[in-house]
Amino acid sequence: MRRCAGGILLKGRRIVLGKRAANREFYPKVWDIIGGRCDAGEEPEETLVREMTEEIGVVPRVFSRVAVLPEPLPELYGEAEYHIYVVTRWAGLLAEHGDEHAELRWFELTEAMKLDLALPAYRSVFAALMEGRGVEAVP
């Protein structure tokens, strides 16, 4: 089974999402959190830090896991689990690196709920954040 990890930069009631490039194998041209596949032997927390650093130049410093979501389309993309983290403190400046995203943008949580998202279950994570649930630091 594929394991992935991704992070949601949270500042107040705003989050960062990336619009996946049209050439992406999984979920092209939709809004997604920042992350990717776990390498062999890599823990999801390590993947989170590596992927956010590689893709947007941000190093997560304070974060918490808020969900583990199943792959909604296993018949198309295979079995997977997505470890979702909320990042409340980070180092570095937000910038696009590489060709994974066509665009990076800050959204109000209410606005993000209306987007075409890679995983529909993100909406439940965003709703929990709007209610102030599930934001505790992982050492």
Q: Quick one: residue 33, left, alpha or beta (phi over 0 = left, psi -120 to 50 = alpha)?
A: beta
Mean pLDDT within 11-32: 88
| Confidence check: pLDDT of 129 > 60 | yes
Q: How far apart are CA 29 and CA 24, in angstroms?
A: 8
Distances (CA, A) of 10 to 17, 24, 26, 96, 137: 10, 25, 24, 17, 13
Q: How far apart are CA 134 and CA 8, in angstroms?
A: 12
Give me the sign of the Cα torsion angle 103, 108, 110, 111.
Answer: negative
Q: How far apart are CA 51 and CA 87, in angstroms?
A: 13
Q: How far apart are CA 72 and CA 61, in angstroms?
A: 29
Per-residue pLDDT tens for 58-78?
Answer: 999 999 999 999 999 899 889
pLDDT of residue 42: 97
Q: How far apart are CA 128 and CA 135, in angstroms?
A: 9
Residue % of the chain over a pLDDT of 90: 75
Q: Can you say how many angstroms the Cα of residue 45 is from the centroid of all Cα atoms in its chain?
A: 12
pLDDT of residue 137: 37
Mean pLDDT within 98-103: 78
CATH superfamily for 2-130 is Nucleoside Triphosphate Pyrophosphohydrolase (3.90.79.10)
Name residue 11's beta-bridge partners: 14
| Confidence check: pLDDT of 131 > 90 | no
Length of the chain: 139
Per-residue pLDDT tens for 114-126?
Answer: 999 999 999 999 9
| Confidence check: pLDDT of 138 > 50 | no
